[in-house]
């Protein structure tokens, strides 16, 4: 039997995608560098299914119908290049290779050029939803050769999550557009997660609330305007009890968070573009600081600070905390979408941002009810510079910015760090300020480096001999 589709890499994500594709009526050839993994998968999960195991790349390629459609699901970086090195000599012109990992966009651009030189089609595809999403319906963000996407569009739309506006799958543009959209998705994910954990910290240390009590708060928010996957799982995590001790499991987990690189890449790219994404950046830095556990333990005994107990009415604080979290989450989406807009212009992607909002509505980690009004705003005004400038987000800012200011002020008074909320507030305050103090920065730069400046009262570029004036 010749298979319709091929998958290289049978870790859990790869296996679940194979099962998803097969379940939608397509036959799938599979290969893993370790033959034992392939054998185990076939014996335990692929019995009776239209799945063709292969134990060499040659056998794998031969098992596929032409033009071959091959999805690579291995770790980003050198492992992808290693697979391509072995695969390319076996392919024929017109075959399609798809990288479904979190590859860096520059790597994807390089690989697309190499594929073109060899006569192959290439897609860089971001797949979000984790192991469960891979099996039941992920969000799929594709970029690269459009004719390559057309070869697999039917398969992708069949396996993708189904949102209110159709399959959560789209072609975003040439080159690395798909991987770039997925990278920014992950940056937004970092920012929302950091906002959630700051709310958790304020309720835990500031208000002395138990995990079950906090779960109730997150559950309430999840049934309101903040409804979304990350709030849903937070409620479930806080309710979960450790089977061994009976204690809330979350309180037994070491407080050091890891990051795989996409949040960092998103921040680095934003700096290269000159796009402000402070909430995403601070979420990355918060994870980095969390990794300094031993140093933090020492510092906690050396550096004094105020009592974290907020000493305020719990009901009022939780009510106002909702507004602070709501605006911070909107800021995360606003910053990520602005980055996509700027990257599209810089990198000639031709992105449709309303499609990003649509594809993120189901299957992915940042899926949220907020994406429905976000998409409408972007459909009405594709060139909107910032979400907060349009309804309903303009009214949300007017209603809740006082709560965000109040919550962050209480946090600072009691020594509880809130970098995501702080940066969200500062970002919008800076964006809405007609005259910022950057005029003094320009004067300083001209003083020590003769970098020149512009004036508000006349045209031209100017330099002052500040030492002579002094």
- The set of residues, in sequence order, having a beta carbon less than 8 Å from that of 40 and lying 6+ positions away, is none
The secondary structure of 191-234 as a DSSP string is HHHHHHHHHHHIIIIIT---HHHHHHHHHHHHTTTT-BHHHHHH
Listed residue (155, 139, 135) closest to 71, CA to CA: 155
Active-site residue (options: 22, 69, 109, 182): 182
Q: Please say whether the beta carbons of 103 and 124 come within 8 A.
A: yes
**Cα separation, 207 vs 200, whole angstroms:** 10
**Cα separation, 312 vs 306, whole angstroms:** 15
Q: Please say whether the beta carbons of 160 and 139 come within 8 A.
A: yes
Q: How far does CA 393 lie from the centroid of its chain?
A: 21
**Cα separation, 416 vs 430, whole angstroms:** 23
Listed residue (171, 167, 170) closest to 158, CA to CA: 167
Q: Please say whether the beta carbons of 235 and 219 come within 8 A.
A: yes
Q: How far does CA 305 lie from the centroid of its chain?
A: 34
Active-site residue (options: 22, 109, 189, 198): 189
Listed residue (354, 353, 361, 357) closest to 129, CA to CA: 361
Q: Please say whether the beta carbons of 123 and 169 come within 8 A.
A: no
> How many C-alpha atoms does 90 have within 13 Å on its Cβ side?
17
CA dihedral in degrees (117, 340, 73, 63; nearest 10)?
A: -50
Is residue 182 part of the annotated active site? The answer reads: yes
Q: Tell me the catalytic residues.
A: 182, 189
């Amino acid at each position: 039997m010749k298979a319709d589709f091929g998958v290289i890499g049978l870790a859990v994500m790869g296996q679940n995608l194979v099962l998803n594709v097969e379940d939608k009526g397509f036959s799938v050839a599979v290969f893993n560098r370790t033959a034992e993994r392939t054998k185990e998968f076939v014996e335990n999960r692929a019995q009776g299914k239209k799945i063709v195991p292969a134990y060499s790349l040659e056998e794998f390629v031969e098992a596929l119908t032409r033009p071959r459609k091959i999805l690579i699901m291995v770790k980003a970086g050198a492992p992808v290049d290693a697979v391509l090195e072995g695969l390319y000599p076996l392919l024929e012109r017109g075959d399609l290779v798809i990288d479904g990992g979190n590859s860096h966009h520059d790597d994807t651009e390089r690989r697309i050029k190499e594929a073109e030189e060899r006569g192959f089609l290439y897609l860089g595809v971001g797949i979000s939803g984790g192991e469960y999403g891979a099996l039941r319906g992920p969000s799929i963000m594709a970029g690269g050769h459009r004719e390559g996407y057309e070869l697999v569009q039917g398969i992708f739309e069949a396996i993708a999550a189904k949102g209110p506006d159709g399959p959560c799958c789209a072609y975003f543009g040439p080159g690395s557009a798909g991987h770039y959209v997925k990278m920014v998705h992950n940056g937004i994910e970092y920012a929302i997660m950091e906002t959630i954990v700051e709310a958790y910290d304020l309720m835990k240390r500031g208000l002395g609330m138990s995990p079950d009590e906090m779960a109730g708060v997150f559950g309430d928010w999840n049934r309101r305007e903040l409804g979304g996957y990350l709030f849903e799982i937070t409620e479930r995590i806080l309710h979960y009890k450790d089977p061994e001790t009976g204690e809330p499991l979350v309180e037994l987990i070491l407080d050091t968070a890891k990051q795989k690189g996409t949040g960092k890449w998103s921040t680095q790219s934003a700096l290269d573009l000159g796009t402000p994404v402070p909430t995403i950046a601070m979420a990355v830095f918060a994870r980095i600081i969390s990794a300094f556990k031993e140093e933090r333990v020492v510092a906690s005994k050396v550096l004094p600070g105020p009592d974290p107990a907020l000493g305020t009415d719990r009901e009022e604080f939780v009510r106002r905390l909702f507004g602070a979290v709501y605006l911070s989450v909107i800021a995360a989406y606003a910053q990520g979408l602005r980055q996509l807009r700027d990257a599209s212009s810089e990198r000639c992607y031709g992105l449709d941002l309303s499609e990003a909002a649509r594809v993120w509505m189901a299957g992915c980690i940042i899926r949220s009810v907020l994406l429905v009004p976000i998409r409408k705003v972007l459909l009405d005004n594709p060139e909107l510079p910032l979400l907060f400038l349009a309804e309903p987000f303009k009214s949300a800012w007017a209603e809740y910015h006082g709560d965000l200011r109040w919550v962050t002020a209480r946090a600072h008074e009691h020594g509880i760090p809130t970098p995501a909320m702080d940066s969200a507030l500062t970002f919008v305050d800076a964006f809405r300020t007609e005259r910022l103090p950057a005029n003094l920065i320009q004067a300083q730069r001209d003083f020590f480096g003769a970098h020149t400046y512009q004036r508000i009262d006349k045209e031209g570029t100017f330099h002052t001999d500040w030492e002579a004036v002094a």
